[in-house]
Structure 1
Amino acid sequence: MVFEGSSAAISHTGKVRSNNQDSGFCGSNLFVVADGMGGHAGGDVASSLAVHRLKDLDHPFTSNADAERALREAIADTAAELIDTVARRPELAGMGTTVSALMMVEDYAVIAHIGDSRLYLYRDGALTQITADHTFVQRLVDSGRITPEEARYHPRRSVLMRVLGDMDPDPEVDTFIMPTQPGDRWLLCSDGLSGVVDDTHTSKVLGQGLAPGRTADLLLKQALDGGAPDNVTVVLVDVGGNHPLFSGTPTIVGAAAAPTGIDVPAARTGRVGGWFHPARQAANEPTHFEPSSEFLEELIEEDRRRARRRRVWWGIGFLTIIAALVAATFLAYSWTQTRYFGGADDDTVVIFRGIQQDIGPISLSDPYEDTGILLADLPGYQRTMVEQTISARSLADAQAIVDNLRPRTETVP
Structure 2
Amino acid sequence: MSDVGRVRPHNEDSGFVGPYVALVADGVGGAAAGEVASATAAYAVSATALGRPGEDPEAVMVAAAEAARVSVRRGVQRDLDRLGMATTLTALVCDGARVVLGHVGDSRAYRYRSGELVQLSTDHTYVQQMIDTGRLRREAVGTHPWRNVVLRSIDGDPDDEGLDVVPVDAVLGDRFLVCSDGLTDLVADARIAELVAAGDPCTAAAALTEAALEAGGRDNVTCVVLDLVEGPVSAGDGELLGAVGDRSNIVDESSVRLG
1:114 match: 104
1:391 match: none
Asked whether 1:211 is paired with 2:200, we answer yes
Of the three residues 120, 135, 138, the one matched with 1:145 is: 135
Letter in 2 for 1:220: T
Shift, 1:145, TM fit: 1.5
1:52 match: 43
Structure (1 or 2) with the larger CA radius of gyration:
1
Letter in 1 for 2:33: G
Shift, 1:14, TM fit: 0.7
CA shift in 2, pair 1:260/1:172, >3 Å: closer
Of the three residues 218, 222, 239, the one matched with 1:229 is: 218
The answer for unaligned runs of 5 or more in structure 1 is 1-9, 242-246, 265-413
1:128 match: 118
Letter in 2 for 1:252: L
Of the three residues 141, 147, 151, the one matched with 1:161 is: 151
Higher mean C-alpha displacement, 114-123 vs 166-175: 166-175
Equivalent residues in 2 for 1:164-313, closer than 5 Å: 164-208=154-198, 210-240=199-229, 250-262=238-250
- Separation in 1 of the partners of 2:109 and 2:247? 28
Runs of 4+ in 1 over 3 A off after TM superposition: 59-63, 166-171
Contact 2:108–2:123 under 8 Å retained in 1: yes
Q: CA RMSD, aligned part only?
A: 2.0
Contact 2:45–2:67 under 8 Å retained in 1: no
Contact 2:50–2:237 under 8 Å retained in 1: no
- Separation in 2 of the partners of 1:138 and 1:213? 30
Of the three residues 3, 17, 21, the one matched with 1:30 is: 21
- Separation in 2 of the partners of 1:20 and 1:132? 24
- Separation in 1 of the partners of 2:250 and 2:143? 33
The answer for unaligned runs of 5 or more in structure 2 is 253-259
Contact 2:41–2:71 under 8 Å retained in 1: no
Shift, 1:248, TM fit: 5.1
CA shift in 2, pair 1:132/1:93, >3 Å: same
Contact 1:29–1:60 under 8 Å retained in 2: no
Letter in 1 for 2:5: G
- Give the structure-2-normalised TM-score: 0.90
1:96 match: 86
Please give the secondary structure, in 2, of the residue aligned with 1:177.
strand
